[in-house]
Amino acid sequence: MMSLIALPFLGTVGVLLCITLASYVQSLTGFAFGLIFLALVGVFDLIPVEVAANAVTLITLSQTFFYFREYPLTDDWRVIRPAIWPSLGGVVAGLALLFWLSDSALYVLKIALGISVVGSAALLVMRFEPKTEIDPPGSFALTGLLAGLMGGLFSTAGPPLVYKLYRQPLSLPVIRQALLMMFGLSQLVRLGIVLITGQFTPASIAYAVLAVPLLFLVTRYNRRYPLKLSSMAVSRVAAGLLLMAGASLIATSL
């Protein structure tokens, strides 16, 4: 019989492997770390979804801090302002759903996460056709609300914002600034709420501490030894991983 000491050890090794794979996908695509990590730990039932989501919150905040330390914020990020308040309201609503579902309907939470992951896979292989004019504020507000809900539930607000911003007539540096500004603000609000409500555990800090150096090492490895694939092929590989993880999560939850 497997000893009681071996079980936590094997679980931690499994979480580290999930972090490494999620880090590699993010180094290829620029996003999706949280979705891959949450999907994998959910499929293998390694740690609770809420613990993993809180770890992703800390990781996202650290990434945002280091980015803006290297690349100071400019006024161009203001294109995303109409989405800010709806997004923060969505974070509150998403966290309320997380607390409720994690106690009463965990399988529904995992199915919702699986659907989000599959949707992100579809976004990766879509061809974005940039518009000639910026969308109206109401459209950004609706996107912000949806992103906030995902951010509150899974600490992964990326897919709706990525889809919206990449269709705007904006440069890549502006898109990245706007995305990271939204991620940083929503994660700060999320972290404050989970701390106040007592939903934050030391385990989330431990996994975040483990993840940050792994993210750095994997990103550095990918820069030194990049895949000899076209950008479209890279997107398809990453989308395939997301699709398998999301579908597996849905299947195991059902």
* Helix, strand and coil in the chain, % to nearest 5: 80, 0, 20
Q: What is the pLDDT of residue 222?
A: 75
Domain edges within the chain: 67-108+120-226
Asked if residues 25 and 32 have their Cβ atoms less than 8 Å apart, the reply is: yes
Q: What is the pLDDT of residue 154?
A: 75
User: What separation in angstroms does the CA of 36 have from each of 82, 110, 154, 192, 219?
Assistant: 29, 13, 11, 24, 16
CA-closest candidate to residue 101, choices 149, 68, 159, 168: 149
Q: Please give the average pLDDT of every successive group of 10 residues along the chain, which has 254 residues.
A: 45 83 74 78 82 86 79 78 90 85 70 77 69 86 88 78 81 81 87 87 86 81 74 71 76 71
Task: Give the span between the Cα atoms of 84 and 195, in whole angstroms.
Answer: 21
Q: What is the pLDDT of residue 117?
A: 75
Q: What is the pLDDT of residue 4?
A: 35
Q: What is the pLDDT of residue 3?
A: 38
